[in-house]
Chains A and B, each alone.
Chain A
Amino acid sequence: MVNKLIKEDIKMFLTGNEVLAYAANSAEAEFMYGYPITPQNEIMHTWCKLLPKTEAGFLQTEDEISAGFSTIGGILAGKRAFTATAGPGNVIMQDAQSMAEMMRIPFVCAVMQRGGPSTATVIYAQQETRLTCYGGNGEGFRIVYSTAGHQDLYDYMIKAFNTAWKYKFPTYVLADGYQGKMREPVMLYDPASRGITMVPTEKALLADGEIGVDRKSIHMRNTYNMEEELMEVLDSYQVDYDKMAEEVAEWEEYKADDAEILVIAHGIVARSARTAIDELREKGIKAGLYRPITIRPLAVKPLREAVSRAKHILFTESANGQLAQMVLEKIYGLTTPYSTLFKMGVGVTGDDIVQKVENIVKEGV
Chain B
Amino acid sequence: MTNLTQLSLSDAVDGLKAKKFSSQEITQAFLSSINASNATLNAYVVVTPDKALDMAKASDAKLAKGQGGKLEGAPLGIKDLFCTKGVRTTACSNILGEFTPTYESTVTQNLWDQGSVMLGKLNMDEFAMGSSNETSRFGPPTNPWRRERSDVKLTAGGSSGGSATAVAADLCLAATASDTGGSIRQPAAFTGIVGIKPTYGRASRYGMVAFASSLDQAGPLAKTVKDAALMLEVMCSGDMKDSTSLHLPVPQWTKSVGASVKGMKIGVPKEYRVDGMPEEIEKLWQQGIAWMKAAGAEIVDVSLPHTKYALPAYYIVAPAEASSNLARYDGIRYGARQSGDGSLTSTYETTRAKGFGAEVQRRLLIGTYVLSAGYYDAYYLRAQKVRTRILQDFEEAFKHCDALLTPATPSAAFGYGEKGDDPVAMYLNDIFTVTANLAGLPALALPAGLDGQGLPLGLQVIGKALDEASCFKVAAAIEDAAGFKARPDKWW
Q: Do A and B come from one complex?
A: no
